Structure 1
Amino acid sequence: MNWKSFFLGTTIGLIGGYVTKEILSQKTNVSPEKVLEHVKKQFKQNGPISGSWIHMTAEPYEKQQINYRVYKGGISKNNNGANEQYEFIADASTGTILDLRRLAEVS
């Protein structure tokens, strides 16, 4: 067996595998569960959460003339006896919160 051929083949295989991994990781979305976990962690810093939800499919969204694929979801929390509801929009590829707004206050 020719050792040069063996090492050349091994090196090419490793480089090809690494390049493939990098290409796939750039096109992969963050899971909606991880996005919701991140948002809940941020909200829990200011008090307990009473409920949360997230759409499981990414959808198109435009903000300031930039197009994104996003997950939409919501958080409910109790603040001094009043139930506050928030809606969030998070980038599906990074998990970054792009928009957050308060929806309603329910007694």
Structure 2
Amino acid sequence: MKKENILLLAASGFIVANLFTTIEKHARLSPRKVLFDIKKELKKDKGFYDGWIEHKTVPFKKLALTHDAYHGGILKKENAKLACYEFWVDSKTGSILKICRTAQF
């Protein structure tokens, strides 16, 4: 191969790799997938009732890091009453950043 072809091939490979890295870095999980996964895990625990999730991300600061997060909530039956929980989930990894109990009926 000529030097020009090798340089062109190397430059093309670099550009494609950089493009895939950029796309992967900014890729987000769908909120439906996140909620589905959370519901799937919670159904193992008796008493799970229902859940919701916002489709827009919100900034969520945890320690020194700011995450793009989905905000949602679940209803769960505890001691014959409904308990409400709110959660924030990282939109890129699906990791739960925070979950807290907000009310009981």
Same fold (TM over 0.5): yes
CA-CA distance at 1:67 after TM superposition = 0.9
Partner of 1:38: 37
In structure 2, give the amino acid aligned to 1:87.
Answer: E
1:79 is aligned to: 78
The RMSD of aligned alpha carbons is 2.3
Unpaired runs of at least 5, structure 2: none
Please give the secondary structure, in 1, of the residue aligned with 2:21.
helix
Deviation at 1:13, TM superposition (A): 6.1
Question: Helix, strand or coil: the match of 1:36?
Answer: helix
State TM-score, norm by structure 2. Answer: 0.78
| Distance in 1 (alpha carbons) for counterparts of 2:59 and 2:51 | 22
TM-score using structure 1 length: 0.77
CA distance in 2, matches of 1:16, 1:40: 40
- Rounded to whole Å, the distance in 1 between the matches of 2:10 and 2:68 is 36
Counterpart in 1 of 2:26?
A: 27
Residue in 1 that maps onto 2:94 = 95
Question: For the residues of structure 2 that align with 1:81 and 1:14, how far apart are their CA atoms?
Answer: 60
Q: In the alignment, residue 20 of structure 1 is paired with which amino acid?
A: L
Identity rate, percent:
28
Contact 1:47 1:79 in 2 (8 A): no
In structure 1, runs of 5+ residues without a counterpart are: none
Secondary structure of 1:94's counterpart equals: coil
